[in-house]
Amino acid sequence: MRLTRKRLCSFLIAVYCLFSLYAAYHVFFGRGRRAPGAAQRGMRPRRGRGAAEVGPGLPSPPLCAAGLGLLGSGDGWSRAWLVPCPGFITGPAVVPGSFSIEENNVVLVLNGREKAKIFYATQWLLYAENLVQTQKLQHLAVVLLGNEQCDNEWINRFLKRNGGFVELLFIIYDSPWINDVDVFQWPLGVATYRNFPVVEASWSMLHDERPYLCNFLGTVYENSSRQALMNILKQDGNIKLCWVSAREQWQPQETNESLKNYQDALLQSDLTLCPVGVNTECYRIYEACSYGSVPVVEDVMTAGSCGNASVHRNAPLQLLKSMGAPFIFIKNWKELPALLEKEKTLILQEKIQRRKILLQWYQRFKTELKTKFTNILESSFLMNNKG
């Protein structure tokens, strides 16, 4: 018996080694191999979520099935890199010209939030333009993390309707450009660049009593509605019933402790207060949805060129409203005390039902957008190929 066990263990080890060698062969010599020079520069391949920092996750498998390449962005959104099918390769080592294009149709995920990011995004577009002109690339779409005040004029000249080569633009934040023909809105999503995780709903998340009525963990700017919110919470004494942690300066990165506190606050609060910042749309809205904490959204238009609430009935947050987001929208934080008083009267079963509606909606929201994204690309790129 001892000999048989020894032979069995040896056999299993041999099988494991063979499988490891087989996997290594495909990683290093398969179609999705690393870009040239990546190993020397410390670049590591990461599969599956390379572009998920924008919105609810870009649908890699359907794109691959359609013969599409995906160019993602990361490293604090400072530059973009190739994300080949079927896996993603990420890392700042990959720059325009450092890899070969194997796809005819490509989606570029770019950051246009500020001048420094726009510079890198422009380099990618100029590189893509050269590929189109030399017929190495047939079709190009862009997913753009737009400027928070919607000042995105820099990309206008690259759009096909203006004589450029970008056929489709998926843009984050409300914009008067959105027409659902060649310019579409894409949601901001959660802040994975700050290590916010993919959250799986659990029984306890849905059914447990939550100790806090609401939460707000964030930066409070002087003379902002956030300051007004803090004053209202203090005046009515509701601050004792909510998880509130304010800071005066914005921090680009979370510590392990601050991230855990933030996640715990979302998980242990019935409501998440979402005051406007530079833009009405914020990561906090989607992060609250992840934990079944109902977003209480300050529904006011911020300064900039994102639209006009008097002209566009659903502005701001047109995409979320058009898809039936089960949020609580308020125009002024003076409405909050009455809202919290009403919350105190709700029984647990009512809160469970509300959480269930929110979590189901959020899952459907992500799924429908992924499907819509793929369908738009297929109808535009692949139909044009047939023509």
Question: Which DSSP string corresponds to 205-269?
Answer: HHHS--SEEEEEEEE--TTSHHHHHHHHHHHTTGGGTSEEEEESS--SS--HHHHHHHHHHHHTE
pLDDT for the residue numbered 74: 40
Architecture of domain 193-365: 3-Layer(aba) Sandwich (3.40)
Q: Cβ neighbours of residue 361 under 8 Å, at least 6 residues apart? A: 289, 324, 325, 326
Q: Kindly report, residue by residue over 209-226, the tens digit of the pLDDT.
A: 999 999 999 999 888 999
pLDDT value at 15 more than 90 = no
pLDDT value at 308 more than 60 = yes
More confident residue, 70 or 144: 144
Label the pairing between strands 68-74 and 79-83.
antiparallel
Q: Kindly report, residue by residue over 91-117, the tens digit of the pLDDT.
A: 555 577 765 667 788 899 999 999 999
pLDDT band at 249 (very low <50, low <70, confident <90, very high): confident
- Mean pLDDT score of the chain, rounded to an integer? 80
pLDDT value at 21 more than 50 = no
The mean pLDDT value for 32-55 works out to 38
Neighbours of 3 (CB within 10 A): 7
pLDDT for the residue numbered 254: 81
Q: Rounded to 5 degrees, what are φ and ψ at 124?
A: -65, -40
Q: Kindly report, residue by residue over 148-190, the tens digit of the pLDDT.
A: 999 999 999 999 999 999 999 999 999 999 999 999 999 999 9
pLDDT value at 77 more than 60 = no
Q: Kindly report, residue by residue over 281-293, the tens digit of the pLDDT.
A: 999 999 999 999 9
Closest to 173 measured CA to CA, from 331, 303, 294, 364: 303
Q: Kindly report, residue by residue over 322-381, the tens digit of the pLDDT.
A: 999 999 999 999 999 999 999 999 999 999 999 999 999 999 999 999 999 999 999 998
* CA dist., res. 193 & res. 259, Å (int): 12
Q: What is the DSSP letter of 155?
A: G
The mean pLDDT value for 24-34 works out to 35
- Name the helix (H) or strand (E) containing 141: strand 139-145
Q: Kindly report, residue by residue over 190-213, the tens digit of the pLDDT.
A: 999 889 999 999 999 999 999 999
Answer yes or no: pTM beyond 0.85: no
Task: Copy the structure tokens of residue 367.
Answer: 């799924």
- Name the helix (H) or strand (E) containing 131: helix 115-133
pLDDT for the residue numbered 132: 93
pLDDT for the residue numbered 56: 55
Q: What is the DSSP letter of 169?
A: E
- Name the helix (H) or strand (E) containing 172: strand 168-172
pLDDT value at 33 more than 60 = no
pLDDT for the residue numbered 117: 93
pLDDT value at 143 more than 90 = yes
Interior CA angle at 269 toward 264 and 275, to 5°? 100
The residues of the chain that CATH labels 3.40.50.2000 are 193-365
Residue found by looking up tokens 């909050």 in the block:
336
What's the order of all strands across the beta sheet hosting 328-330?
243-247, 212-219, 269-274, 294-298, 328-330
Handedness of CA 290, 175, 371, 144 (dihedral sign): negative
Label the pairing between strands 79-83 and 139-145.
unpaired
* CA dist., res. 280 & res. 298, Å (int): 7
pLDDT for the residue numbered 218: 92
329, β-bridge pairs: 297
245, β-bridge pairs: 217
pLDDT band at 57 (very low <50, low <70, confident <90, very high): low
Label the pairing between strands 328-330 and 212-219.
unpaired
More confident residue, 81 or 379: 379
pLDDT value at 19 more than 60 = no
The mean pLDDT value for 60-89 works out to 40
The mean pLDDT value for 239-244 works out to 96
